[in-house]
Amino acid sequence: MKVAVIGSSGQLGHDLMRILPAAGLEAIGFFGRLELDIANAAAVEAMLESHRPDAVINTAAFHHVDLCESRPDDAWKINAVAVRDAAKACQKRKILWMQIGTDYVAEGWPGCQPIAETAAVCPKSIYAASRFAGDCLTLAHAPEYGYVVRTCGLFGIAGCKLKGGLNFVDTMIAAARAGKPLRVVSDQIVAPTATDTLSRQLAALLEHQPGPGLYHAVSHGQCSWHEFAQTALRMAGLTVTVEPVSSTAFAAAAIRPRYSVLDNARLRTVGLDLMEDWQKSLQRYIACKYPPPA
């Protein structure tokens, strides 16, 4: 199977380009907008015609959550309209279209059960609403070939371009090593997910193709961002104080969900839940990227 990866320069795209071939799949990467602009429908159609992939994984999106509030036209253009056009193009050619979604579209409350695919959504920002639209447009315009895979709190070796090549874990470790004070929200509960584990999960979905539709794929377990930071620093051998604060302390432009822990219910139903506990994934990540000195 030949798989086109849109956004191969990102931390998920980076691991997909490494893990898909290891799973016996041919991967063609499109590094950034200069190679393939997801918002250019003609360019996407040309890519499908020239490379003729069997599947496309779209990791590209307008990810800057707060900036989406002041640039809603760009958010809707990239996160919704572009996804619709690409999904239609893939459906027409019988190519599997896999759209990577976000936990930001859902919200429960602290202490509730993880949120299954059948639960109602609650997008509270332009980012979340535009990403949810992309989910819906995928399923509407690629009913036979469209997969939406929602995930959460990604961290991977390549880091996030938006954060200067860092992710949350890297940012916490860099700040701690620099002696900076650490203040992290304790009232947002998530399921941090490693991109290498997610990549293996996506490869399994491509291999088995259990049926189009919505899937959740996040780490098992849950924690606050504060607990996530504390755990990462402890695993990295750093003894520092992390002050827990309310999300209101940062006055961000976009509202974040308080509880967005997803339940991999549909993956379990089809016998394909390969995700692991977030602490296990984090330990492997720390050991790989921040090994102790010899």
> Does 241 map to a domain?
no
> Does 249 map to a domain?
no
* 104 three-class SS: helix
Predicted local distance difference test score (pLDDT) of residue 292: 81
Separation CA 293–CA 203 (nearest Å): 34
Separation CA 25–CA 207 (nearest Å): 9
Predicted local distance difference test score (pLDDT) of residue 108: 87
Predicted local distance difference test score (pLDDT) of residue 222: 96
Known active-site residue 127 = yes
Given a cut of 90, whether residue 160 has pLDDT beyond it is no
Strands 189-190, 223-224: pairing kind: antiparallel
> Does 35 map to a domain?
yes
Q: What string of DSSP letters covers 159-225?
A: -BGGGTTB-HHHHHHHHHHTT--EEEESS-EE--EEHHHHHHHHHHHHHH---SEEEE---BS-EEH
Site of tokens 């209101």: 248
Phi, psi of 193 (to 5 degrees): -130, 130
Provide the mean pLDDT of the chain.
95
pLDDT band at 161 (very low <50, low <70, confident <90, very high): low
Domain that holds residue 142: 2-157+193-220+260-276
Separation CA 256–CA 290 (nearest Å): 29
> Does 187 map to a domain?
no
> Does 214 map to a domain?
yes
Lowest mean pLDDT among 19-23, 36-40, 98-102, 161-165: 161-165
Separation CA 126–CA 242 (nearest Å): 30
> Does 146 map to a domain?
yes
Which of the residues 127, 145, 147, 259 is marked catalytic? 127
pLDDT band at 99 (very low <50, low <70, confident <90, very high): very high
Interval 20-31 mean pLDDT: 97
Q: Say which DSSP state 112 is in.
A: S
List the one residue out of 55, 216, 64, 77 whose CA is nearest residue 148.
216
Torsion of CA 201, 205, 206, 211, to 10 degrees: -160
Percent of the chain with pLDDT over 90: 90
Given a cut of 60, whether residue 163 has pLDDT beyond it is no
pLDDT band at 287 (very low <50, low <70, confident <90, very high): very high
> Does 237 map to a domain?
no
Per-residue pLDDT of 255-271, as tens digits, reads: 999 999 999 999 999 99
Q: Are 286 and 232 in contact (CB under 8 A)?
A: yes
Sign of the torsion formed by the C-alpha atoms of 76, 115, 263 and 289: positive
Predicted local distance difference test score (pLDDT) of residue 109: 78
* 31 three-class SS: coil
Interval 159-164 mean pLDDT: 64
Given a cut of 60, whether residue 154 has pLDDT beyond it is yes
* 261 three-class SS: coil
The CATH number of whichever domain residue 73 belongs to comes to 3.40.50.720
> Does 114 map to a domain?
yes
Structure tokens at 164: 């200067």
Lowest mean pLDDT among 84-93, 95-104, 111-120: 111-120
How many domains is the chain partitioned into structurally? Answer: 1
Phi, psi of 160 (to 5 degrees): -105, 125
Per-residue pLDDT of 211-239, as tens digits, reads: 999 999 999 999 999 999 999 999 999 99
Structure tokens at 92: 């027409």
Given a cut of 90, whether residue 62 has pLDDT beyond it is yes
